[in-house]
A and B are shown apart, each in its own frame.
Chain A
Amino acid sequence: MGRIVIDPLTRIEGHLKIEAVVEQGEVKEARSSGTLFRGIELILRGRDPRDAQRITQRICGVCPTSHSIAASLNLDSAFGIADKIPDNGRIIRNLILGAAHIADHILHFYHLAALDYVDIAKVAKYEGKDPALSSIKSFIERRELAPFLPRYEGDYRLEKKVNLQAVAHYVQAFDMRRKGQEMLAIFGGKIPHDAAIVPGGVTEVPTVDKITSFLWRLNELREFIDNVYIPDVLAVAQAYSDYFEIGAGCGSLLSYGSYDLDGKEVDLIKRQRLFKPGTISTNLKLARLDPAKITEEVKHSWYADTTTGRKPAAGDTIPQTGKDGAYSWVKSPRYEGKVYEVGPLARMLVTYASGNAEVKSVVDSALAQLKASPSALFSVLGRHAVRALETKLIADSMPGWLLSLKPGEPVYTEYEIPEEATGMGLVEAARGALGHWIEIKKRKIANYQCVVPSTWNFSPRDDKNQPGPLEQALIGAKIKDEANPIEIGRIIRSFDPCLACAVHLITPKGRSLGEFRVS
């Protein structure tokens, strides 16, 4: 029996360590561990509630926009103005979030995940004149190959032409994701950590130059998504088609829904949104989402058992180092006590099953091209493919939103900070369902809790000993060479992990890794 440790797992956000027990080339058990702690929720206590919108963005520099919007929805609801955000403000928030998701998904596929499939070293033999490839060839000839080598060696299967093209696109994608961030900053002020989203709406007013500048960056990105990103994902899918059967995970998906299409409904679950809220499993049967059924369990986390099973709004964090059977600082969010995966796959399939015609058409045509059934989407490649299709759906929705902005109309509504209040903000981050909860007392933050996508996806075993989604996805994976466990990297990165988000909880005592070592 072998033990594989990957620390650090790179090309993700944050500090992640993976341990897997391998028997005869197959993963029997897997555990994921975040290796950094800050304590943002504790830092928030006692502060002006409005500051939460600025500080929670800084939980994560990769997905600050999602925290920015979750915090704003949370504060809107606590301040009693959830139904009073002007249309311009609501739409600009959507445009900012959309720009963030487009840039994020491109970054994830090309710069975080692709190096598991694409072999950059093969450019050494390139003979053509493409400027990006020529500059990489010169780079290789200088023989200092960091940060592309060393790497796990393995089955880099793309045929020569496709591989070269993918490397050229790796370079092009740097520019594309940057343009996505520029598009975001046109209305957001700057990024990472936007300046213009606030409770009450936004501070940036729409003008014709901003609208057109945004539009033409968006048009360029839409061309890239249609003609480069989606074809590249499909090309990888064709060469690595066995990954439609690898990394299935827990088979249950959960989405809060996202992109507000209506500004009057106070209940976020009833609000009209581009992506629908709900839960779904491999049989594609849709169920209504009730946020009151979310709890966080801690049997296998280093927290006091007295805090287990609580709803996030009533959450508490009492660390207990050295607790028997515990092996993670990440709690285990569960819905009706069951394990759920969150992310693009969840919101696209929930929206698909809700009967959204556009989503049905993009998903069905991709499935036809891949000769795959919807259940094949519960896999490494399924997550990549759906993420790319979602990027298209969002990007194609944005011109309509953009052109419905009304220069001269308000973007922001004023409010009073209440003496006492509670709030909830639910949105979809690039990586999945993101929830913020606040309790205000004496006009200050009494309690602030975030349940983030990577807490769901990277959770440890729960009170019923059910492994978390990633842990389930790793079990059964075949590892050809334990010294080069490229297969593990492929499975993990399909979830697009974001550990700064997952381990933002507090702990006044250190950790003691090592107790769960199995060999």
Chain B
Amino acid sequence: MNLNCKEYQHQITLLLYEELPEGAYPGLEAHLQECDDCRSAFESEKAMHSVFANDTTGWDVPSDLLVESRKALADQLDRIERKRPWWRVPTFSVVFTPMRLLESAALIAMGLALGVYVSNQQGRNIAELVPNSAPDNQVSLIPRNGAISNLQVVNADPATGQVELAGEVSQPLRFRGRMEDDVVRQLLFSALRDPNNPGSRLKAVEVLSQKPTDEPIEEALIGALVYDDDAGVRMRALEGLKKFANEKHVRAAFMYTLQNDQNAGIRIEAIEALTTHNPKDPDLAQKLTEATEKDDNPYIRTKVLQFVGTTK
């Protein structure tokens, strides 16, 4: 084989990966007609692609691995955020500089305009904001009906009189809309992430469970089922997902629950849903057997044995 053939064989590889520059194809085609070695290499490389194309032995990442990995990452991020010093926690920040004052005033004006627009256009109630943007009065940054918490002094320079404060502002919010509205969804998803309020997470799951018809809602419910610390929230999320227990991701989440949830009631519900919605599935039977062989709950083990019996 001469160097030229080696170059052509490079081109064969590129051709089969659709990376060969257009202009190079005629030359390669002509060479293949006259060179037995390269034609044989071409056939052999095509055969190799066919072998790979026929490999159906499961190159897919197991769904439960994705669920586990996401959960582990979320836990790690939570730990990092808990360790982060308070002055680095993202909150509002007020610095007494002219540029910041202008930026703040502009932001308030934009917020007000948006609030008024939404309120007028759709008849929705947005909490009232104070329309006072007097630049020398920083308290005007705070909504009249808002509350401040965790206020901290980030920096105080006696020489310049400049002070930087950080804290959190919260204010009442009321919003009406349909489940399809992005704002409604974002509010519900946000409620699901509120670590301090299991009641609001439960309500959010209940509302989302009413219409778990698309992927973001399904993912949010799976997230609640797998991540939430509150058993009531997890149970409600599971109930919302039950009818989709034959879908790949939901099934993986239920398997994860079955193997990891400390609450036997939730594990029982998971197994009920899996066996009801995947009748006589031998693959599931095997996975359930493996997943529950060490489960200390006799009902769960019996349920699996019964299911395995139906598949034989």
Specify whether A and B are partners: no
Show the binding face of B for A, using Cβ within 8 Å. Answer: none
Show the binding face of A for B, using Cβ within 8 Å. Answer: none
